[in-house]
Amino acid sequence: MNRRILLRSGLTAGQLALAAKAGLLWPVTVLASEWPADAFQATSYQEAAAMLFRGEPVEEGGHVRLEAKDIAEDGSTVPIRVVTDLSGPLTVTLFSLANPTPAVGRFELSGALDGRLDTRIKMAQSGEVLAVVRAQGRHYGARRRIQVSAGGCG
């Protein structure tokens, strides 16, 4: 019985050593070191946008489309889709303007993707959702009003 425990422990230690050598055991704080946490704690869109976009304007219309149902049955999981015809590495930032903290998500997309993001967000109440795509040094946005039947952030 002790021999089995010794063998199992040795195999586990060997697997952990291989994972560490391959760089798979990075601390989470290192990977998220550039996360703009203050912007996601801001209580207004203007404050969050100032931190995230550094005062650069957001051009609405044209390159970004925000797709969602007009009525969401449950505000805790509202499915949305962001589609853009822009290419290259993209950053997609999502806001629910009626939430107590409007910034709800930020995604870094590779240039190899087709410019489409499907996700779910939380909405405290009915209101506008804004998707902002950063590409080629500029910000492009699209808005959509979504009616929420049952709250999700409370």
Q: Is 66 helix (H, G, I), strand (E, B) or coil?
A: strand
Quickly count: other Cβ atoms within 10 Å of residue 74's Cβ.
Answer: 13
Domain regions of the chain by residue span: 1-33, 34-148
Structural element, H or E, at residue 71 = strand 71-72
Residues 6+ apart with CB under 8 A from 21: none
Tell me the pLDDT of the chain (154 aa) as tens digits.
Answer: 576 665 566 666 666 565 566 665 555 444 554 677 888 899 999 999 999 988 899 988 789 999 999 999 888 999 999 999 988 888 999 999 999 999 999 998 887 778 889 999 999 999 999 999 999 889 999 999 999 987 555 4
Cα–Cα distances in angstroms (integers) from residue 109 to residues 15, 91, 113, in the given order: 31, 6, 7
Instruction: For CA atoms 67, 73, 75, 77, give the dihedral sign.
Output: negative
> Which superfamily does 34-148 belong to?
SoxY domain (2.60.40.2470)
Structural element, H or E, at residue 51 = helix 45-53
Contact between 95 and 104 (Cβ < 8 Å): yes
